[in-house]
Structure 1
Amino acid sequence: MLLKIFLLLYFSTIVLTESNPEEKQGVIYPNRCEVCKILAIELQDRLAETGKSSDVLEIGYSLDDVKPKKRTEYRTSELRLIESLDNICERILEYNLHKERGDSTRFAKGMPQTFKALHGLVDKGVKVELGIPYELWDKPPVEVAELRRQCEVLLEDHEETIEDWYYKHQDTQLIDYLCEQRVLKPDEKKCLKEVLDTKGDKGKIDDNSPKIKQKEDL
């Protein structure tokens, strides 16, 4: 027996489309707080990945190769910052939209619980109809694409602030130095304190989530 699962209303908001925002029913675009928070997290994580290197760079050049070259540690170098910033907003495309969460933790890496369940049904031979091709199920949703776009804008607008933090204030968390103290207005900072409640987020879908309808395929 095959089951047809109709989630058109819910999943039509997940797929990237070329329609106007007003036509994307149920889409909640990322706010400024969410954008800054995720940029800060991704950049700090990227710097943590490269900060363990003990390499020493030799900077400078002379024709006679007699003058000593300036030596600097890679972990405090401009090169490390440039490499860390390179394509940093592209990392946001690794995020998914977890619609079962009602705050900024809706943007997170990993497959949403609803899609895990649907992929599990497909693996069992269940026919699942979402109104979109199966190969598009895991494409970045429109909210994540917009998150990436706004990340690029914010990075361009505050690149000097990030450089100042990198060279002079790394004893302060980037999310505080950039988002809390410089980018966000007082009424925009709520999401900075929001963290994923791992005890209460074990695949549970809240009451506002769409209902799954099933019917037999005779």
Structure 2
Amino acid sequence: MAADHKSPRSRGMLGGRRGTGGRGQRAKVGSARTAIAQVLTKRARGIVVQLGSKVPSLAMILLYIGLLMVAFLSSHVEGKRDAVLYCGACRALVDELQYEIRKVNPKKTIDVGSFRISPDGTQGKSKVPLATSELYLTEVLEDICEKMNDYGLHVDPKTREKSYKRFAPRDGEGIGSIDFNNFQFNPDDSNSLKFACERVIEEHEDEIFSLITHEADGLTDKLCTEKSGLCKEVLHHEL
């Protein structure tokens, strides 16, 4: 993807901490989760007010507590996560990130650090590879989960193990030896995988930046198994 190296858009100065562009979009997901709780809390108060003159005080208190518990559970309980789905989303995310990094000329660099001039007349700036800079990675992460549409649930014909794999070729790539008979295509799968991808970024964004900027080897295992634990349960079943 093309990055505007001279115009960091809404992220502030070049090399600065990433701004709220992509984070703001992902924050909407978190805000939506609290909306139900807020609505139910208002309804609880309204019901208590309406029944205040008719219901004994103890029963009114119990009613209020019960409704607040429903609101709390609606906001915080998502149910058990699908281990295959979230592990697949994490692995696909890393695969797409590494692909985008490989597209950038490794010799290209970007200035990071402070643009202020110190008393001795120098600036506290340094150069880092553009491909692993926070500026470039932030731009990539903003729409990388859209790539989840190119993945599908794959069932190994021998072991019957399920995992999410890419079935759509990238630009300039051929279809290869992909056997589409081993994929279970469901219209809802891409949306579920996209949502899981967004959650992985939302919850592990700092680890993603840290591992990539420090050029960690085995990025997939480090992020999806060691740091996030998203693939631990899947690997346990495969052993």
TM-score calculated relative to the size of structure 2? 0.46
Higher relative contact order (CA 8 A, sep 6+): 1
Higher helix share: 2
If the length of structure 1 is used for normalisation, what is the TM-score?
0.50
